[in-house]
Amino acid sequence: MEEMNELFYRDPYCRSFDAVCVSCEKTKRGWEVILDDTAFYPEGGGQPGDHGTLNGIRVLDTRRIGGQVVHITEQEITAGTEVHGEIDWERRFDHMQNHTGEHIVSGLIHINYGYDNVGFHMGDILQLDFDGEVTFEMMREIERQANRIIWRDLPVQIAFPSEEELSVLEYRSKKELTGTVRIVTVPDADICACCGTHLKRTGEVGIIHLLSCTKQRNGTRIEMLAGNRALTYLEGIADQNTGISHLLSAKPLETLKAVTRLNEMNGELKYRMNGIMSSYLQYKVQAMEESEGTIVMIEDGLDSNAMRQLCNMIIEGHKAGICAVLASNDAESCRYLIMSSGMELKDICRTFNQKLNGKGGGRGVMVQGTYGVPASEAMRVLKSEL
Ligand SMILES: [Zn+2]
C-alpha cells in the first residue's frame, strides 16, 4: 500500500487547506500539479478522484501517479507558490457515503453467505460483483441488515495492524498486500483492507438501497445506492408511484395490482378490437367490384398489421392489381403500404418516395413506409400516377 500520511488520510473531513506547490507540468491531461501535502483524494479502490479548486483554479481530477498525488488543473500554478485548496465537498461526501455503504453491503454478504466482492464500479449507480448467487430475497435481507448497521451509528475504525496481528486477522482483501496494511472495520459488518476515504460513523451513510441483483456467469451483480443518492432515487420512485396511484385511483401499495389489471384489460380490448377490425375490412372488401385496376384509399386508424391485412384481402379477392392504403400520422405526414398481385414495386416505391418526401421501401410485391405530406395529398398523387 501507499504511504498513508497525506491530509486526506489524517483528516478525511478536511474541506479546505493551505499547501505549497512543489511542481507543475503541462501534459496532455492538463496541468499536473503536485503539492507538499493535500486533502484531495486520488482515484483508487473504485472511488473516483476529488474535484475542487486550487487558488480558484479548477481541479478536474486527482490521481496517484508514480506514488504521488497529482492534481489535474485547468491552468498553470507556479511552482513554489502557496496555494489554498477547496474540495468539492458535496461530491466527496457522496463518495464517502457510497464507499462506506459498499463496505457494509460487501461485508454483510461475506458474513452471511461467504461470498467475496470480486469487482466494484462507482458510476451513477454502484455495481458490486460477487462470486456466488444472491437471490432477490437474500438481497432484501442484506438491505435490512445494512440499514440496521446504519441505525446503530457505529464507529468506523481505521487501524494499521502489525504483521503478527494481520496473520491471525480475518479480513477481506482484493489482492495480496505487502508493507503497511490499512484495515477498515465496521463493527458487526466488515473488516477490509482499504485505502479509500470513509465516514467516521455508520449513521452518516443515512440509507442503503439495493436496486437489483443480476445473475452473472460466475456470480451476481448487485446495484446499490447509499446516502443522498439513495434518497434522491427513492424520491423519484415514490413520485412515479404517486402519479400512477392517482391515475388509477389505487392505494400507493396496490399500484402493481392495478397496473396488472389494466394490462390484462388492454390485452382483451386489443383482441376484441382486432376481431371488429377484421370484420369491418371484410365488409369493405366484399363490397368492391372485381378488377385488375388500381385502388388508392385512406384508412386512418389502421396500424401496419391492419393495413397489410386490408391489402391482402383486396389482392387475394381480385379487387385490384395494385392497391395503396394510406393512414394519417398527423396533419403533415402519413403511413403507406402498397401491394401488387405480381408486379415488382421497388422502383415505384422509390419514385413516390422522391415525389412525396417519403421514407421506407421493401422488395417484391409489398412496400411500406411514410410520406412527409398529408394523406389527401399522397392520395391525389398516387391516384393520378400509380
Ligand atoms: Zn474503503
CA atoms of 127 and 224, how far apart (whole Å): 7
- Cβ pair 17, 90 in contact under 8 A: no
- The correct answer on CATH 3.40.50.300 for the domain covering 93-239 is no
* Cell, residue 223: 446495484
CA atoms of 313 and 301, how far apart (whole Å): 18
Strands 57-65, 16-27: parallel, antiparallel or unpaired by DSSP?
unpaired
Handedness of CA 331, 311, 292, 285 (dihedral sign): negative
What is the 87 CA–ligand 1 centroid distance (Å)?
Answer: 19
What is the 174 CA–ligand 1 centroid distance (Å)?
Answer: 11
Domain residue limits, the chain: 7-87, 93-239, 249-287, 288-385
- The correct answer on CATH 3.10.310.40 for the domain covering 288-385 is yes
What is the 96 CA–ligand 1 centroid distance (Å)?
Answer: 9
CA atoms of 21 and 35, how far apart (whole Å): 4
What is the 360 CA–ligand 1 centroid distance (Å)?
Answer: 55
What is the 152 CA–ligand 1 centroid distance (Å)?
Answer: 19
For residue 284, what are the CA distances in angstroms to 309, 319, 379? 12, 11, 18
What is the 319 CA–ligand 1 centroid distance (Å)?
Answer: 76
> Which residue is associated with the grid cell 376481431?
275
CA atoms of 222 and 244, how far apart (whole Å): 27
User: pLDDT truncated to tens, each residue of the chain (386 aa)?
Assistant: 445 789 999 999 999 999 999 999 999 989 999 999 999 999 987 889 999 999 999 999 999 998 899 999 999 999 999 999 999 999 999 999 999 999 999 999 999 999 999 998 998 999 999 999 999 999 999 999 999 999 999 999 999 999 899 889 999 987 666 778 999 999 999 999 998 999 999 999 999 999 999 999 889 999 999 999 999 999 999 999 999 999 999 999 999 999 999 999 999 999 999 999 999 999 999 999 999 999 999 999 899 999 999 999 999 999 999 999 999 999 999 999 999 999 999 999 999 999 999 999 998 999 999 999 999 999 999 999 98
Closest CA to 58 of 36, 39, 77, 41: 77
What is the 99 CA–ligand 1 centroid distance (Å)?
Answer: 6
CA atoms of 102 and 361, how far apart (whole Å): 52
- CATH fold for domain 7-87: Elongation Factor Tu (Ef-tu); domain 3 (2.40.30)
- The distance from CA 56 to its chain's CA centroid, rounded to whole angstroms, is 33
pTM of the model: 0.79
